[in-house]
Structure 1
Amino acid sequence: MNVYAPKSWLVLALVFLIAGCGSSSPPVQITQDASSGQTTYKTRQMRLSEIEMTQGLEKGNRFYMQVVGTCTSQDCVPRSYDLHFVKEGMQSVQIEGRGVSLTIGTETLSWKDPQNRSVNRASTIRSGTFARVEVTSEQLSTIGGVDEVSGTVGGEGFSISHEARAPIRQLLRRLEEGPDESSQASSSQGD
């Protein structure tokens, strides 16, 4: 007689329940504004690695990239996308401008600081989006698909792993499928 078998099943069920409840937001969120007819596609935030903007207690800060695309009509496909660079955490940090560069495979894309300040380029950021750049659909496809992506934002270097960029690939796949296939896929996935 195995007295411990029911307890092990209970523990296993509890592990699956916790894992299911702890799942993060969906990789791609689609919202439609009925009044404006605008459709917004937004990926989950993707963690930036190796970024060294913080020290000491500020190590609790986290930095992410998120893709947002908008277009006007239901089931439309955006022509371009914004890459939002986001800081989360309680401690404010200093950044050197808001310029962005991305090295995608062998290609480097650069965007200058939109504020184009000539004096005292350092600024303080707290939480939320602190830099935003626009990319084409083709550039986004390359960013999602290549093995390595690295770059700089606010004067600090970062990398973003292929695994972390999975929401980009899922967004592009959903847009390629079209409205019929993606609605069937989303309804079969459940919440």
Structure 2
Amino acid sequence: MKLIGSLTSPYVRKVRIVMAEKKLDFQLVLEDVWGSDAILKMNPLGKVPCLVMEGQDSITGAVFDSRVIVEYVDTLSPVGKLIPERGRERCEVRTWEALADGIMDAGILARMERTWAQRSDEQRSPAWINRQMTKVTAALAAMSQGLGDKPWCSGSHFSLADISVGCALGWLEFRFPEITWREDYPNLARHMDKLSQRQSFIDSVPA
């Protein structure tokens, strides 16, 4: 399998970590979606990550959107089941993923408004940026409350919930170092430190 993505995308990182935890072989193909339209051949939405099945070279052989990809990848190997099959436990893990993805979604929108070269300073909207960052702040508080003093986000073992939270927090450290979530939420800092010791996280640090 080929995973089309970038080294800075938190969504790509989530897929890379899942595939590493599942001990699946794949080739990472780097793609700059801002500098090239090549991704459109595999994903008409022009986004990464995009997982391409072996021997395929068109949209019909591709799986895109990180949530869809990790759902599929978790079925490919019995090693380290990351998403419960059914019931309340499954819903809880996917809700954690949605919360983490929401932080990244809002953060990316705020960052693009701040930095997109095709906007002048006069065209940028501080109100829009503040609205998105309010979502980030609220989601961090919800994460901290949900984690409490538990060893893992959901249930009694490592899951997609922890991977998603780790990717969101790692991306905030990378793109928004001014956000003081480590000081504000020590339990999230401890959890991130624990996750950062896993080889899958070490091998996928954004750069």
Scaled by the length of structure 1, the TM-score of the pair is 0.25
Q: Which has the larger radius of gyration?
A: 1
**TM-score, normalization by structure 2:** 0.23
State the structure with bigger RCO (CA 8 A, min sep 6), 1 or 2: 2
